Structure 1
Amino acid sequence: MEFEEVFNCSLQFEDPTTSQLIEAIDGNYAATITLVVATILSIITFVVFMEGEVFVCRKIASRRKVQLSFIMGIYPVFSTTSLISLYVPRASLVARFSAQVYLSVSLLQFVMLITGYFKTRDNMRRLLKGSILPLGSPPLLIFASCCLPKIPITEGNLLQIVRIIKAAVLQVAVLKPILWFVATVLWTNGSYKPGKIGLHEPFIFFQIASLLSTLIALNGIIILFRLCKEPLKNFKITPKFFTVQLALVLTTTQSILIAILISANVITCRYPFSARMRGSYIDNLLTVVEMFFFNIMATIWYRRLEGNIDPEDQLRRRYYAQLSSTYKVDPAIQIAMGDETDVMTSLTTSETSSRTLDNNSNEGKIVLNGVELNGKGTNGYHQTKDLENGSTEI
Structure 2
Amino acid sequence: MNNVSNRTANSCDGEPPFAIDNIRNQDVFGIILYSVLTFMATISMLVFLEECVYIYKKVPANKKSAIIWVNGAAPVISTMSCIGMWIPRAVMITDLTSGTYFAIVVFKFLIMMLEEIGGDEAFLKRYSKHKLKISTGPCCCCCLCLPHVAITRRTVFLLKLGSFQFALLKLIFTLLSIFLWTNGNYNPQDMRITGAAIWINPFVGILTVTALWPVTITFMHLRITLRTLKIVPKYAMYQLVLILSQLQTAIINILAMNRIIACSPPFSSPARGYMLSQQLLILEMFIITLVTRLLYRRQYDPLPEEEPGDNENTKLTTLAVSA
Q: Which amino acid aligns with 2:109?
A: F
* Residue of structure 1 aligned with 2:214, choices 211, 220, 224: 220
In structure 1, C-alpha distance between the alignment counterparts of 2:118 and 2:6, rounded to whole Å = 61
* Alignment CA distance shift 1:91-1:265 (3 Å): closer
Q: Shift of residue 120 of structure 1?
A: 5.0
TM-score, normalised to structure 2's length? Answer: 0.85
Moved more, 257-266 or 217-226: 257-266
> How far did 1:13 drift?
4.8
Take 1:149 and 1:110, find their aligned partners in 2: how far apart are those partners? 25
Tell me whether 1:280 sits opposite 2:279 in the alignment: no
Corresponding residue of 2:15: 14
User: 1:127, 1:231 within 8 Å by CA — same for their partners in 2?
Assistant: no
**Distance in structure 2 (CA, Å) of the matches to 1:122 and 1:171:** 22
Answering whether residue 292 of structure 2 is matched by residue 310 of structure 1, we say: no
Taking the aligned partners of 2:283 and 2:226, their CA distance within structure 1 comes to: 31
Equivalence map 1:87-126=2 (5 Å)? 87-126=86-125
Task: State the shift of 1:34 in Å.
Answer: 2.3
**Separation in structure 2 between the aligned mates of residue 56 and residue 120 of structure 1, nearest angstrom:** 18
Report what 1:150 is aligned to.
Answer: 148
Q: How many residues align?
A: 301
Q: Which residue in 2 is equivalent to 1:59?
A: 58
- Asked if 2 retains the 8 angstrom alpha-carbon contact of 1:218 and 1:245, the reply is no
What SS is found at the alignment partner of 1:197? coil
Q: Please report how far the alpha carbon of residue 158 of structure 1 lies from its aligned counterpart in structure 2 after TM superposition.
A: 2.0
Contact 1:79–1:288 (CA<8 Å) still a contact in 2? yes
Structure 2 equivalent of residue 258 of structure 1: 252
The whole-number CA distance in structure 2 between the counterparts of 1:190 and 1:183 is 10
Structure 2 counterpart of 1:150, one-letter code: H
CA distance in 2, matches of 1:202, 1:42: 32
Residue 94 to residue 6, structure 1, CA distance change in 2 (3 Å): farther
Question: What does 1:295-374 correspond to in 2, within 5 Å?
Answer: 295-305=289-299, 308-311=300-303
Does the Cα contact within 8 Å between 1:104 and 1:176 map onto a contact in 2? yes
The 8 Å contact of residues 11 and 274 in structure 1, kept in 2 or not, is answered as yes
Partner of 1:71: 70
Opposite residue 89 of structure 1, the aligned amino acid is P
Residues 13/272 of structure 1: CA separation in 2 closer, same or farther (3 Å cut): closer
Which structure is higher in RCO with an 8 Å CA cutoff and minimum separation 6? Answer: 2
Q: CA deviation at 1:230?
A: 2.2
Residues 15 and 277 in structure 1, CA contact (< 8 A), matched pair in contact too: yes
Q: What TM-score do the two structures reach when normalised by structure 1?
A: 0.70
Output the CA distance in 2 between the equivalents of 1:246 and 1:43.
21
SS in 1 for 2:225: coil
**DSSP-derived class of the 2:142 partner:** helix
Distance in structure 2 (CA, Å) of the matches to 1:30 and 1:234: 45
Aligned counterpart for 1:236 among listed residues 205, 230, 239: 230
Deviation for aligned residue 1:167: 0.7
Once residues 133 and 267 of structure 2 are traced to their aligned partners in structure 1, the CA distance between those partners, rounded to angstroms, is 48
The aligned residue for residue 209 of structure 1 is 203
The one-letter code of the counterpart of 1:22 is I
Percentage of pairs with the same residue = 26
Superposed, 1:176-191 pairs within 5 Å as 176-191=170-185
Aligned equivalents of 2:249 and 2:199: distance in 1?
13
- For structure 1, the residue ranges without an aligned partner over 5 or more in a row are 313-394
Larger radius of gyration: 1
1:150 Cα deviation from its structure 2 partner: 2.6
Conserved in 2, the CA contact under 8 Å of 1:243 and 1:294? Answer: yes
> How far 1:180 sits from its partner (Å)?
1.4
Q: After TM superposition, give the deviation of residue 272 of structure 1 in Å.
A: 3.2
Distance 2:29 2:179 in 1: 35
The answer to whether the 8 A contact 2:11-2:265 is kept is no
The change in CA–CA distance for 1:17 and 1:263 in structure 2 (over 3 A counts) is closer
Q: Using a 3 Å threshold, how does the CA distance of structure 1 residues 85 and 221 change in structure 2: closer, same or farther?
A: same
Range moving further from structure 2, 271-280 or 29-38: 29-38
What is the rounded CA distance, in whole Å, between the counterparts of 1:233 and 1:79 in structure 2? 28
Query: CA 1:297–1:6 in structure 2 vs 1: closer, same or farther (change >3 Å)?
Result: farther
Residues 336-389 of structure 1: per-residue CA shift (max 9 Å, x gap) = xxxxxxxxxxxxxxxxxxxxxxxxxxxxxxxxxxxxxxxxxxxxxxxxxxxxxx
> Does the C-alpha gap of structure 1 residues 261 and 121 become closer, same or farther in structure 2, counting only changes over 3 Å?
closer
Q: SS where residue 140 of structure 1 aligns?
A: coil
How far apart, CA to CA, are the structure 2 residues paired with 1:192 and 1:256? 17
Q: Residue 111 of structure 1 aligns to which amino acid in structure 2? A: L
Q: Aligned to 1:143, what secondary structure does the other structure show? A: coil
CA distance in structure 2 between the partners assigned to 1:120 and 1:276 by the alignment: 45
> Does residue 186 of structure 2 align to residue 192 of structure 1?
yes
Cα displacement (A) at 1:11: 5.4
RMSD value, Cα = 2.4
The answer to which of 126-135 and 51-60 deviates more is 126-135
Which residue identity does 1:309 align to in structure 2?
D
Q: 1:142 to 1:94 in 2, by over 3 A?
A: same
SS state at 2:117 partner:
coil
1:164 aligns with 2:158: yes
Deviations 1:142-189 (A, max 9, x none): 222x332233x3xxx422111111011011111111111111112112
2:25 match: secondary structure: helix
Q: Distance in 2 between matches of 1:175 and 1:268?
A: 35
